[in-house]
Amino acid sequence: MNAALKVISLLLSYPSEEIRQAIPEMKAALQTAGIGDTHTALLVRLADDIAEHDLYDAQERYVFLFDRTRVLSLHLFEHVHGESRDRGQAMVDLMAMYDADGFEIDTRELPDYLPMFLEYLSMKPAPQISELLGQTVHILAAIRERLKKRKSVYSNAFAVLEAMASAKPDPKLLHDLLETPSDDPADLEALDRIWEEEAVTFGGNAGENACGPDRLQRQIRASNRRPADIPRGKTV
């Protein structure tokens, strides 16, 4: 599972020539990652698709999907209920959890960037991986559904992450996410207006035990109060 998370982290990163060159090594690692033949095949398909695309085409596709389409954002806390200050505190808490485990991040990326979060999870024991993924499983499921509707091979990665999580998506939270209107990635003026607004709220009355990024924030804070477990970095 840990090796698979590392591979998914790379596959969900902005395509680069270095990533493309590493795809044979990624595919080899998946064969012994212990995630089952079906999930291995999904990730291999995504890896092959990235490798087969012209690099600039792969990069343009990535930008249109994940950078210009807010409902597909790979920044987890963009999907969180709450005000900007609350999202900022969630970032601080997540960074503190990384620091507690000796996980250093590139300052160019925000700590809630999904590929970075997955790289961090690849350091953790399987039960904690499943638990932390479970806190955001409705976000992962919503992104998977939206990508699947676009017939995007990137939905494969989210299907595998969803299967690794310890929980199923909360139906109400998932419904609220999927009801959010999608923006047009080609409309740059509208995109600027959207990013200036407050984040859309989801599942504000979900309760203390609900699956959601607000619960992830509580999980992060709890983690900061206990010793780290590891010492010290085309749809198929």
Kindly report, residue by residue over 176-199, the tens digit of the pLDDT.
889 887 765 554 554 554 445 433
What the block records as the tokens of 154 is 């990137």
pLDDT bucket at 46, cuts 50 / 70 / 90: very high
Question: Using CB atoms within 10 A of its CB, is residue 165 exposed (0-12), middle (13-18) or buried (19+)?
Answer: buried
What integer pLDDT is reported at residue 23 of this predicted model? 97
Q: Which residue from 123, 78, 126 is spatially nearest to 105, judged by alpha carbons?
A: 123
What integer pLDDT is reported at residue 16 of this predicted model? 96
Q: Dihedral sign, CA of 119, 123, 125, 126?
A: positive
Given a cut of 60, whether residue 214 has pLDDT beyond it is: no
Q: Name which of 12-26, 37-51, 88-102, 125-139 the model is least confident about.
A: 88-102
Residues 6+ apart with CB under 8 A from 57: none
The mean pLDDT of 55-70, rounded to a whole number, is 94
What integer pLDDT is reported at residue 152 of this predicted model? 98
SS (H, E, C) the chain: CHHHHHHHHHHCCCCCHHHHHCHHHHHHHHHCCCCCHHHHHHHHHHHHHHHHCCHHHHHHHHHHHHHCCHHHCCEHHHHCCCCHHHHHHHHHHHHHHHHHCCCCCCCCCCCCEHHHHHHHHCCCCHHHHHHHHHHCHHHHHHHHHHHHHCCCCCHHHHHHHHHHCCCCCCHHHHHHHHHCCCCCCCCHHHHHHHHHCCCCCCCCCCCCCCCCHHHHHHHHHHHHCCCCCCCCCCCC
What integer pLDDT is reported at residue 84 of this predicted model? 57
